[in-house]
Amino acid sequence: MRRTVGALVLCVLWALTPAGAEHGSDDTLLEPEQAFRFSARLVSEDALEVSYRIAEGYYLYKDRFSFSIEPAGMKIGPARFPQALWHEDEFFGRSEIYRWEVTIRIPLQTRPGSHGFRLLAVSQGCADVGVCYLPTTHRAQLAGPGSLLPK
């Protein structure tokens, strides 16, 4: 409980501080969209891939990902994660994390219709300087194999 409260306090403090353009010697923070660059694509009629390019000095927690799709009639299977790194975290304890890049494969249990579907991907990460971000939701409208349409 103490760790969760501490992590939430850090998240709130981070949200109240201005973020800089680059994480560098002056320890300014990237906005979540720059720290964790999201992309998604339909790789076949029964699978999609979600990728994150993770900036140097940042990481994403493996157990903080969640995925859902719309319309409600479509269903996805359990996400397939690559091997993660072990990290001793001050707030969440021993955790599995991803650095640099991660691609997650998600099976589709319902085939996409001609109108496609919307993917909602939630993730949470931290900067090595000891600041954690609030969970972030990314959205992608997927229309067909290999395509990614704007929100």
pLDDT digits (tens, 9 = 90+) for 114-137: 567 899 999 999 999 989 999 999
Q: Looking at residues 24-46, what average pLDDT do you find?
A: 84
Tell the burial category of 55 from Cβ atoms under 10 Å away from its Cβ (0-12, 13-18, 19+): middle
Q: Looking at residues 30-38, what average pLDDT do you find?
A: 95
Name the CA radius of gyration of the chain, rounded.
16
Range of the domain at 57: 2-142
Task: Select the more confidently predicted residue: 57 or 71.
Answer: 57
Contact 127, 23 (CB under 8 A): yes
pLDDT of residue 30: 93
User: Does residue 151 sit within a domain?
Assistant: no
pLDDT of residue 140: 92
User: Does residue 148 sit within a domain?
Assistant: no
Q: Looking at residues 52-68, what average pLDDT do you find?
A: 96
User: Does residue 138 sit within a domain?
Assistant: yes
pLDDT of residue 135: 96
Domain total of the chain = 1
Q: pLDDT category, 143, cuts 50, 70, 90?
A: confident
Q: Looking at residues 98-111, what average pLDDT do you find?
A: 92
CATH code (residue 44): 2.60.40.1250
Q: Looking at residues 55-66, what average pLDDT do you find?
A: 96
Can you tell me whether residue 4 is helix, strand or coil? helix
User: Does residue 131 sit within a domain?
Assistant: yes
User: Does residue 149 sit within a domain?
Assistant: no
Q: Looking at residues 89-93, what average pLDDT do you find?
A: 78
Residues 116 and 47: their CA atoms lie apart, in Å, by 13
